[in-house]
């Protein structure tokens, strides 16, 4: 076997011990959690989704049939309240936020095969099917449910779990005491079956530290779980239990299989049989550590009860932190990536997310860290090395790749090692290690060039062969780096491949040394990554008002407050908005003009009681269209647990009077 062929087989498969023909057949299913639609997406959601996208792209390149699912979790009290606070119907809020998610995924080059919304009929079919199977296993009963409830987690906590503070351990928010009749799931019955499953499936939860945490929790004993809520309107009705709605987590977790057509008649369930109910398939579910218990205890218990197969692996990642706290809307410290994507494109952002966080551990976001990573690995590292090699080759060989290849040199051996490390690390979801292996190879390529000084050989005719070999080796190393970067940076990977005159790999077999052609056209390429002046960049973002500050509730000056024009107005007409339970269309008189304003007060106020009444209106608000009606302002109301209570002046004043 020649060196090239040998390297090819050694590098591509030896480390993983699976023959290519088997890999080519085995389906690969990867899922993100489905995201709540009560707020815009932020860095945490982006991180989970980018990871799944990278896994999907990696395994597609491995030649496996891949199905990558993401979506949104739209039922439950949290969404119902968030919608009420904005004067919207829950589905209207969901539609708006889903559009934000879809747009962000597009801008982040995310390539899902499917996007499921729990408000879709196909999902409901799956949920009803799993509930019927759980009921048939005699795992449901009705009982009284009492405890401290967090509406953000949608979870009851015991006194023991809370300690003295009575605050939610995840959201640090106040809890509510609740007592109601619910349908319960016999979770306690599954303590031993779960422990047995963990024992016989050592790769079920990764990393190991999280698996141990789960085992300890289950060994500590499992209490039955309430799986319905009384009096919750926004959800799926519980089959055979009138007045009860399916608990959002039982509803949400089922998305992973309802999206595949579980519960549907053939052929609607084809994906289900291919990607889940199939021993050959790998089912990989990526989650953050905050939803560990739901996915590693409740979810497998539901599946065991329903007699359905369990996923292969739950991969658990840590949190992005800012100011030492989890980035989240409820903590008010969100980090959005929109600005970075707009300025740098999707790829550097994707690279940063995977490179600056050790998968499984927490990581801290800062703009400074982003710029440093961008400059060191991308602008100075990959970008400079590629541009140097391309410029030299073009000059020496008339705008073409070097005429002679080379299959015995130190760079080749370093490349083989880097590729092997990369493949192993990707298999183990150690993205930061995988990317370090690639930037290590870029560094070694640079070192190789510095030691051989090809720029000095250009004028020496007798050194043409050695110049050809040196440059070809450098370009070939960059071809390998660019190919391996494709799952993480699909655009940049393709651009570098084009820049070095190489083809896109057809499979990971092509990560063997020797794939770059000789004497190929090498077009002049634009700079891949312009270097960024860190200080200037940081100054510029400090000066601009960022999203982060907007969400922090900063103190505002009196001038800023006066920018909001609050005026007294009289309601002259009021009528319900068709097809909406919550919205009313009001005509209000502001003294010198009349306006249409849509308000989410239909449940609390009768139309007849509103006409003639004075209210306070935000008069300089940008118009917004709600259920097809343009609202030219907003009526002020106090929000009492989401229920609006209108504000009005203490005594009659002329319409149009300013409120300050
Ligand atoms: N809707 C539930 C999941 C249901 S899955 C059947 C939910 N949604 S979420 O929008 O709150 O969070 C979804 C994912 O985003 C979780 O995996 C969570 O860990 C991740 N992140 C949210 N904030 C995060 C960070 N600050 N850092 C990293 N990921 C975190 O939970």
- Angle at 529 (CA atoms; ends 524, 535), nearest 5 degrees: 145
Do residues 27 and 65 make contact, with C-beta atoms less than 8 angstroms apart? yes
- Report the pLDDT value the prediction gives residue 407, as an integer from 0 to 100: 86
The pLDDT tens digits for 543-589 are 764 444 444 445 666 777 878 899 999 999 999 988 888 889 999 99
| Backbone CA torsion sign across 444, 446, 452, 457 | positive
Structural domains in the chain (count): 3
Residue 456 within any structural domain of the chain: yes
Does 617 map to a domain? Answer: yes
- Shared domain for 64 and 194, answered yes or no, is yes
What DSSP element (H or E) covers 568? strand 566-576
- pLDDT score at 569: 95
Q: Is residue 438 part of a domain?
A: yes
Return the pLDDT at 551.
44
Q: Is 123 a catalytic residue?
A: no
Residues of the chain with pLDDT below 70 are: 1-24, 544-557
648 annotated active-site? no
Inside any domain, residue 608: yes
Contacts 24+ apart (CB under 8 A), 592-596: 592/656, 595/569, 595/632, 595/633, 596/629, 596/630, 596/631, 596/632
- 215, 329, 643, 648: the active-site residue: 329
Distance 224 CA to ligand 1 centre (A): 25
CA nearest to 512, candidates 433, 579, 422: 422
* R_g over Cα of the chain: 29
Check residue 406 and give its pLDDT: 86
CA of 436 to the centre of ligand 1 (A): 27
CA distance 119 to 235: 8
Measure the CA–CA gap between 593 and 569, rounded to whole angstroms. 10
The CATH number of whichever domain residue 258 belongs to comes to 3.40.50.620
Q: Whose CA is nearest to atom 22 of ligand 1?
A: 44
Q: Which of 59, 75, 78, 168 is catalytic?
A: 168
Q: Residues 153, 317, 322, 582: which is the catalytic one?
A: 153
Task: State which ligand 1 atom lies nearest to the alpha carbon of 287.
Answer: 17
Which tokens in the block code for residue 415? 């490349």
Same-domain status, 234 and 147: yes
214 and 138 housed in the same domain: yes
Q: Which two tokens stand for residue 392?
A: 């030299």
Whether 534 is in a domain gets the answer no
Q: Which element (helix H / strand E) includes 545?
A: none
Establish if 549 belongs to a structural domain. Answer: no
The enclosing domain of 384 has a CATH number of 1.10.730.10
Q: Parallel, antiparallel, or unpaired: how do β-strands 176-185 and 140-150 relate?
A: antiparallel
For a pocket test of ligand 1, which of 44, 46, 49, 337 has the largest count of ligand atoms closer than 8 A to its C-beta? 44
Tell me, in angstroms, the distance from the centre of ligand 1 to residue 59's CA. Answer: 24
264 is catalytic: no
Are the CB atoms for 406 and 480 separated by under 8 Å? no
Looking at the fold, whether 261 and 328 belong to one and the same domain comes out as yes
Same domain (yes/no): 320, 171: yes
502 and 562 share one domain: no
What is the Å distance from ligand 1's center to 35 Cα? 6
Of 511, 543, 565, which residue sits at a domain end?
511
pLDDT value at position 13? 41
DSSP codes of every residue in 374-443: IIIIIIIIIIHHHHHHHHHHHHHTTSB--S---S-SHHHHHHHHHHHHHHHHHHTT-HHHHHHHHHHHHH
Q: Does 537 fall in a domain?
A: no
Q: Show the ligand 1 pocket: residues with CB < 6 angstroms.
A: 33-36, 44-45, 47-48, 73, 252-253, 255, 287-288, 290-291, 319-320, 326-328
> Domain boundary at 446, 479, 511, which?
511
pLDDT at site 605: 92
Judgement on whether residues 446 and 561 belong to the same structural domain of the protein: no
CATH number assigned to the domain comprising residue 561: 2.40.50.140
Q: Can you tell me which residue has the tokens 């006194």?
A: 159
- Confirm whether 326 is a catalytic residue: yes
Residue 603 designated active-site: no
Is 329 marked active-site? yes
Residues 308-362: pLDDT tens digits?
999 999 999 999 998 778 888 777 777 889 999 999 999 999 999 999 999 999 9
457 and 380 co-located in one domain: yes
Cβ count within 10 A of residue 620? 11
* Nearest CA-CA partner of 597 in 573, 579, 563, 613: 573
Give the per-residue pLDDT at 3: 36
SS3 593: coil
Question: What are the C-alpha distances in Å from 210 to residues 114, 171, 205, 291?
Answer: 28, 20, 7, 11
**Predicted pLDDT of residue 24:** 63
Which burial class, exposed, middle or buried, applies to 274 when counting CB atoms under 10 A from its CB (0-12, 13-18, 19+)? middle
Nearest residue to 589 via CA among 623, 632, 629: 632
42 catalytically annotated: yes
What is the domain range of residue 417? 362-511
Same domain, 188 and 280: yes
Q: Is the pTM of this model over 0.85?
A: no
Between the CA of 45 and the centroid of ligand 1 the distance, in Å, is: 6
Residues 431 and 293 grouped into a single domain = no
Same-domain status, 315 and 381: no
Same domain for 29 and 116, yes or no, is: yes
Q: Which token pair is 173?
A: 């928010």
Identify whether 346 is part of a domain.
no
Closest protein CA for atom 9 of ligand 1? 35
- Separation of 631 CA from ligand 1 center, angstroms? 33
């Amino acid at each position: 076997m020649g060196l090239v062929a040998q390297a090819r087989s050694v590098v591509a498969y030896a480390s993983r011990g699976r023959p290519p023909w088997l890999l080519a057949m085995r389906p690969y299913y990867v899922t993100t959690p489905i995201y709540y639609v009560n707020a815009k997406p932020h860095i945490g959601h982006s991180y989970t989704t980018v990871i799944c996208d990278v896994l999907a792209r990696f395994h597609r390149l491995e030649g496996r049939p891949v199905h990558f699912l993401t979506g949104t979790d739209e039922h439950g009290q949290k969404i119902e309240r968030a919608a009420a606070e904005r004067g919207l119907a829950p589905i209207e809020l969901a539609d708006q936020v889903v559009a934000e998610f879809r747009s962000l995924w597009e801008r982040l080059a995310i390539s899902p095969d499917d996007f499921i919304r729990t408000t879709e009929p196909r999902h409901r079919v799956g949920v009803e099917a799993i509930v019927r199977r759980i009921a048939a296993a005699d795992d449901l009963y009705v009982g009284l449910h009492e405890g401290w409830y967090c509406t953000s987690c949608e979870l009851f906590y015991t006194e023991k779990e809370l300690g003295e503070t009575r605050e939610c351990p995840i959201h640090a928010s106040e809890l509510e005491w609740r007592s109601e009749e619910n349908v319960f799931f016999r979770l306690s019955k599954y303590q031993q079956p779960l422990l047995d499953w963990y024992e016989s499936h050592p790769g079920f939860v990764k990393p190991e530290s999280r698996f141990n945490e789960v085992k300890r929790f289950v060994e500590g004993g499992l209490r039955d779980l309430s799986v319905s809520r009384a009096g919750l309107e926004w959800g799926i009705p519980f089959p055979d239990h009138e007045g009860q709605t399916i608990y959002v987590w039982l509803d949400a977790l089922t998305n992973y299989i309802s999206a595949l057509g579980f519960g549907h008649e053939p052929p609607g369930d084809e994906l289900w049989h291919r990607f889940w109910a199939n021993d050959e398939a790998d089912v990989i579910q990526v989650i953050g550590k905050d939803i560990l218990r739901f996915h590693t205890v409740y979810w497998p218990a539901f599946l065991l009860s329903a007699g359905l197969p369990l996923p292969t692996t739950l991969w658990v990642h840590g949190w992005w932190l800012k100011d030492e706290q989890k980035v989240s809307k409820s903590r008010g410290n969100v980090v959005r990536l929109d600005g970075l994507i707009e300025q740098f494109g999707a790829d550097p952002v994707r690279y940063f997310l995977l490179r600056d966080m050790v998968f499984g551990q927490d990581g801290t976001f800062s703009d400074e860290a982003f710029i440093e990573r961008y400059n060191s690995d991308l602008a100075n590292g990959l970008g400079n090395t590629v541009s140097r090699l391309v410029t030299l080759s073009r000059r020496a060989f008339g705008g073409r790749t070097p005429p002679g290849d080379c299959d015995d040199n130190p760079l080749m051996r370093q490349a083989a090692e880097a590729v092997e490390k990369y493949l192993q690390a990707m298999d183990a979801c150690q993205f930061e290690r995988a990317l370090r292996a690639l930037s290590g190879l870029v560094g070694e390529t640079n070192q190789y060039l510095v030691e051989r000084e090809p720029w000095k050989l250009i004028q020496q005719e007798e050194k043409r062969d050695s110049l050809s070999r040196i440059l070809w080796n450098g370009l070939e190393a960059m071809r390998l780096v660019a190919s391996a970067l494709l799952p993480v940076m699909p655009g940049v990977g393709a651009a570098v491949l084009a820049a070095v005159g190489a083809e896109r790999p057809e499979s990971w077999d092509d990560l063997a040394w020797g794939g770059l052609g000789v004497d190929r056209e090498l077009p002049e390429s634009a700079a891949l990554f312009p270097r960024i002046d860190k200080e200037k960049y940081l100054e510029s973002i400090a000066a601009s008002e960022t999203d982060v500050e907007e969400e922090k509730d900063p103190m505002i000056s009196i001038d800023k407050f006066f920018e909001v024009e609050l005026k007294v107005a009289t309601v002259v007409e009021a009528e319900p908005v068709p097809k909406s339970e919550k919205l009313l269309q009001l005509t209000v008189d502001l003294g010198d003009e009349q306006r249409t304003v849509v308000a989410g007060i239909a449940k609390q106020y009768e139309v007849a009681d509103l006409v003639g009444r004075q209210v306070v209106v935000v008069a300089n608000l940008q118009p917004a269209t709600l259920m097809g009606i343009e609202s030219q302002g907003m009526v002020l109301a106090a929000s009492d647990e989401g229920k609006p209570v209108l504000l009005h002046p203490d005594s009659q004043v002329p319409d149009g009077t300013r409120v300050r």
